Amino acid sequence: MLKKIFPVLILLGVAFLFVKYMSASESKKRFIKHLLKQVQYLPGRYFA
Amino acid sequence: MADYDVIVIGAGCGGISAGAILSSQGRRVLVLEQSPRVGGCCSTFERDGFHFDIGASIVEVIYPLELAFKMCGTEFQREVDLIPCDPIYSYIFRDGSKINYPLSIDDTAKVISAISEEDGKKWYELADYFADLMKQTIEAFFTNPANGFLDMLRMVRKNPKILKFMPLFFTSYQDVIEKYFKDEVVKQTMAFQSFYCGLPPELAPGFVALIPYSEHEGIYYPRGGMISIPEAFRRIGEKKGMEVKFNARVTRVIVRNREACGVELDDGTEITCDVVVSNVNAIKLYSELIGFEHLPALARFGVRSYEPSMSCPMVYLGIDYRPPLEAHHSLTIGPLDLMNYAWWNVLKPGLLPEEPFGLICWPTESDPSLAPEGYHVLNVMSIGPYQLKEKNWDEVKERYVENLINFHSSFSIPELKDHVVIAECATPLDFERQLLSPRGAIYGLQMDLPHQAMFRPCAKSRSIKHLYLTGASTHPGGGVPSVIASGVIAATLVDKYEK
């Protein structure tokens, strides 16, 4: 049962975050973009 | 046996404080400084009887300084004569009107209430919230290592209450300011401080909104100029046997089998040691002084991804009249949206702002001995890019100084242009050359969330044994108290791991 619900919950979560992002102000979007574009570097920075 | 127990590269506030603490522990410490003076950004130089502060202009949040001096066996207030600054800011608007914020929370509330009664009440809410944040985090976060998840867990275990401030890490400075204040003028007076972490209000993390409050816990100017603070560490360290060599530029950290064991100077001299403490910007340290060949692949990727913080041009003025200013610090600012606009549309494309808004420091208001009698000193800091779109800073320097003097003469410091007797300028390019800071970065690295705590270069290097980092490019970041906190952290880690 949990196995079936889990992907749905993930999808709902992603959809919720997407809607939140789309309804955010331009300023907030720039803040989020600024953070997201650096996520790829975090593992390297952690070990630097 | 090595020549020294510890070699500290760089006598900036992080390096000299770490050196003084380590020599107080009985270690044989050598500090190598490439310039002729201590302090780095927190230093003072003299021209024709005028004493100009290179960058840092005041000190606030003095807990890390008190701790560092205590670890040296003395007291901050005994070693440095601190002059309290009140009012803490005078905001000067384009029409020449001024708003002064006094040190007292209550008096500031009165000033804000005169602009907007509702915002006056909200000021108390902001002050209460950030007073709590200061109380809960100053010991747990500022002066403890943040080298990894375990250190972060230790911080939380030490004080679980800090968890309630987590939302501040995922919201912007601007969001915090707009949550509390509605009036545009009040928002302006609270927004500029985001640039103290090198970012515009919409990109700076929410916890930086601590600054408009923390300033009200006290801001101080050290008598004799900002250099008095690193000089005090030097004095104490030398009493304990620490050696400081000036004009000694380190060109290489000697690494064998991923262990730091000494340094090489630009004249070819090699000096050996058991531990290296680097006060050099981490990008420069790993890429030039150590070399990527000594780093694991993941660390190389991490170091390459670091972004230096913003830089700024500084203009140093000696003047022959008492400037019509009302505080040690005056700010010429514009609307909050203009600050964001300037970031994206002026600084990023490499343009110079037509109106060089920024900070005017008037140190002779606090300490008249910094200029000949009847004269004054002004240090003017504005926002400006490192890379200019068309010419370079050396070419535009003179014109920039002239424009800046004319700009301030037009409203913030009337008659200024008729009273300048000496004018000097340090551009981002000069900072890069003089402080060896990549892109002239004044706060080491960016201070946004992906460059914070465990994502900032580790105080105890993960890649090279016996190598420790201090300074603005490591945790907790830029600014005099943070950098001295990094000196405390480096010294504490050396004491713990290098018996």
d(CA B283, CA B306): 7
ipTM of the predicted structure? Answer: 0.88
pLDDT > 80? residue B276:
yes
> Burial of B3 by CB count in 10 Å (0-12 exposed, 13-18 middle, 19+ buried)?
middle
Q: What is the pLDDT of residues B137-178, one digit of tens each?
A: 888 888 889 988 898 888 888 888 888 898 998 899 999 999
* Inter-chain touch B296–A30, beta carbons under 8 Å: no
The answer to whether the beta carbons of residues B234 and B17 sit under 8 Å apart is no
Q: Which residues contact B431 (CB under 8 A, 6 or more apart)?
A: B41, B55, B311, B437, B440, B441, B442
Among chain A residues, CA nearest to B451: A45
Residue B349 token pair: 């494309």
**pTM given for the model:** 0.94
Q: Are strands B250-256 and B259-265 parallel, antiparallel or unpaired?
A: antiparallel
Closest Cα of chain A to B47: distance in Å?
41
Structural domain boundaries of chain A? 24-48
Cα torsion B427, B429, B430, B435: sign: positive
B297-315 confidence digits (pLDDT tens): 999 999 999 999 989 999 9
In which element (H, E) is residue B59 found? strand B59-60
Q: Which two tokens stand for residue A45?
A: 């920075």
| Chain A contact set for B454 (CB, 8 A) | 46
Residue A32: pLDDT band by 50, 70, 90 thresholds? very high
A27/B174 touch (CB, cutoff 8 Å), yes or no: yes
Q: Which residue of A has its CA nearest to B205?
A: A31
* CA B360/CA B319 separation, integer angstroms: 14
Burial tier of B63 (Cβ tally within 10 Å: 0-12, 13-18, 19+): middle
* Local structure of B226: helix, strand or coil: coil
Is B449 in Cβ contact with A27 (below 8 Å)?
no
E strands within B141-282? Answer: 219-222, 243-245, 250-256, 259-265, 270-278
- For residues A47 and B299, is the Cβ–Cβ distance under 8 A? yes
pLDDT at B248 over 90: yes
At residue B344, does pLDDT exceed 80?
yes
Q: Tell me the per-residue pLDDT of B4-35, one tens digit each, with 9 for 90 and over.
A: 999 999 999 999 999 999 999 999 999 999 99
pLDDT in tens, B416-473: 999 999 999 999 999 999 999 999 999 999 999 999 999 999 999 999 999 999 999 9
Q: Are A31 and B303 inside 8 Å of each other by CB?
A: no
Residue B272, φ and ψ in degrees, nearest 5: -95, 155
**Nearest residue of A to residue B299, measured between CA atoms:** A48
- For B105-142, the pLDDT digits (tens) are 999 999 999 999 999 999 999 999 999 999 888 888 88
What pLDDT shows up at residue B40? Answer: 95
Q: What is the predicted pLDDT for the residue at B352? A: 87
Residue B262, both tokens:
């000494």
| Contact assessment for residue B219 and residue B101, using Cβ atoms and an 8 Å cutoff | no
Specify the length of chain B in residues: 499
| A-contacting residues in B 196-225 (Cβ below 8 Å) | 202-203
* Nearest-by-Cβ selection for A41 from B305, B454, B462: B305
What is B114-176 written as a DSSP string?
HH-HHHHHHHHHHHHHHHHHHHHHIIIIITS---SHHHHHHHHHH-GGGGGGGGGGGSBHHHH
Check if B172 contacts A (Cβ < 8 Å): yes
> What does the alpha-carbon distance between residue B296 and residue B305 come to, in Å, rounded to a whole number?
14
Q: Where are the alpha helices (DSSP H) in chain A?
A: 2-22, 26-36, 42-46
Q: Does B455 touch chain A (CB under 8 A)?
A: yes
Whether A45 has its CB under 8 Å from any CB of chain B: the answer is: yes
For testing contact with chain B, the best of A20, A31, A39, A40 (most B CBs within 10 A): A31
Residue A41 to residue B449: CA distance in whole angstroms: 12
